Amino acid sequence: MGADFVQLSLTPLLMGVLASVACALPGNFLILRRQALIGDAISHVVLPGIVVAFLLTGAISTWPMMLGAAGAAVAAVVMIEAIKRLGRIEPGAAMGVSFTTLFAFGVLLLEQSDTSTVHLDVEHALYGNLESLIWFAAEDWSSLADPAALANLPPELGRIAFVTLIIIAGLALFWRPLEISTFDEAYANSIGIPTGALSFGLVVAAAIAAVAAFDAVGSIIVIAMFICPPAAARLMTNRLDRQIAWSVVFAALSAILGYVFAGYGPLWFGAENAVSAAGMIATVSGVILGLACLFAPHRSRIAAPAEAGAQS
């Protein structure tokens, strides 16, 4: 836990935790609203957005790509709504049509355009490159107080921290209306909450989290973190605030354990190379969800645990 750790592992760990938390927060509401697969759709359409942004600007620069990805997410939501309404198709199928088509379009563009000179390919889009976020300027823990070294932190870290803060702020700001409209949309409408705008805002927040996380950790973590920690948290409690707290804990735990297992786990088994950190984080989040499904106090659909115990 010395200089090596600060230089090699501190940034990826922080990055993983922040990305996981940023995705898990909006994920709580998506799960409760039965829109979990919107997260799946968004993470697929980020690819065409980024490719189009790259083709338009001709360079891998952050803001155009973020804009392109966010634009693609919004386009996907509009496309899903259009197919649902114009074609009178059920939402699941409309979603399936939209995101697979957009993803195929992204892959085709990527293969057709000359991206061989830059680091942009489908594998990277899928499982990111968490391990490469090395803080070269760091010497040891004292670098955390050294402005010159801090200025050399990988820029992805600053971005994801910024996005996480924005999402937390948005959540705090719209907490009450979000809570009401998630549990009782008709009532929320009747007291004048603009539920349509709120619902769209939630999707946009999810898209922003997805895009920022995607940048460094790839789309698998994005889908896994949208769904697994909130779903596990849902089985722990009946209160929304506690559910969100649990989901943050689970997300951070998945990120830390996943990164450690990926980096050090193979060494314990005598292998020499690390495995994919993004994949491992998703796997750990799945294990946590599995444990929650088996043992969590509020896992069953019927009643709270005390009542269930009284019956048996």
Binding site for other proteins (CB under 8 A): 31, 34-37, 39-40, 44, 83, 86-90, 92-97, 100-101, 103-105, 107-108, 111-112, 122-123, 126-127, 220-221, 223-224, 226-228, 231, 234-235, 262, 266, 271-276, 278-283, 285-286, 289, 293, 298-301
Instruction: Please tell me the distance from the alpha carbon of residue 151 to that of residue 153, in angstroms, as a whole number.
Output: 6
Task: Please identify, using beta-carbon distances, which residue of 6 and 235 lies nearer to other proteins.
Answer: 235
Instruction: Please tell me the distance from the alpha carbon of residue 72 to that of residue 74, in angstroms, as a whole number.
Output: 5
Q: Which residues contact 216 (CB under 8 A, 6 or more apart)?
A: 15, 19, 128, 129, 130, 133, 156, 160
Task: Please identify, using beta-carbon distances, which residue of 193 and 224 lies nearer to other proteins.
Answer: 224
- In the complex, what is the shortest distance from the CB of residue 222 to other proteins, in angstroms, rounded to a whole number? 8
Identify the sign of the CA torsion 51, 105, 128, 272.
negative
Reduced to 3 states (helix: H, G, I; strand: E, B; else coil), residue 145 is: helix
- In the complex, what is the shortest distance from the CB of residue 303 to other proteins, in angstroms, rounded to a whole number? 10
Instruction: Please tell me the distance from the alpha carbon of residue 114 to that of residue 58, in angstroms, as a whole number.
Output: 10
Q: Tell me if 244 sits within 8 A of 25, measured CB to CB.
A: yes
Task: Please identify, using beta-carbon distances, which residue of 2 and 119 lies nearer to other proteins.
Answer: 119
Task: Please identify, using beta-carbon distances, which residue of 113 and 189 lies nearer to other proteins.
Answer: 113
- In the complex, what is the shortest distance from the CB of residue 151 to other proteins, in angstroms, rounded to a whole number? 32
Q: Tell me if 157 sits within 8 A of 133, measured CB to CB.
A: yes
Task: Please identify, using beta-carbon distances, which residue of 64 and 84 lies nearer to other proteins.
Answer: 84
Task: Please identify, using beta-carbon distances, which residue of 40 and 185 lies nearer to other proteins.
Answer: 40
Q: Tell me if 27 sits within 8 A of 124, measured CB to CB.
A: no
Tokens at 299, concatenated = 């896992």
- In the complex, what is the shortest distance from the CB of residue 192 to other proteins, in angstroms, rounded to a whole number? 29
- In the complex, what is the shortest distance from the CB of residue 8 to other proteins, in angstroms, rounded to a whole number? 17
- In the complex, what is the shortest distance from the CB of residue 287 to other proteins, in angstroms, rounded to a whole number? 8
Angle at 284 between CA 281 and CA 287, to 5 degrees: 155
Instruction: Please tell me the distance from the alpha carbon of residue 237 to that of residue 242, in angstroms, as a whole number.
Output: 7
Instruction: Please tell me the distance from the alpha carbon of residue 68 to that of residue 59, in angstroms, as a whole number.
Output: 13
What backbone phi and psi angles, to 5 degrees, belong to 222?
Answer: -60, -50
- In the complex, what is the shortest distance from the CB of residue 64 to other proteins, in angstroms, rounded to a whole number? 23
Half-sphere exposure (Cβ direction) of 75: Cα atoms closer than 13 Å:
18
- In the complex, what is the shortest distance from the CB of residue 135 to other proteins, in angstroms, rounded to a whole number? 23
Instruction: Please tell me the distance from the alpha carbon of residue 58 to that of residue 54, in angstroms, as a whole number.
Output: 5
Task: Please identify, using beta-carbon distances, which residue of 52 and 193 lies nearer to other proteins.
Answer: 52
Task: Please identify, using beta-carbon distances, which residue of 70 and 221 lies nearer to other proteins.
Answer: 221
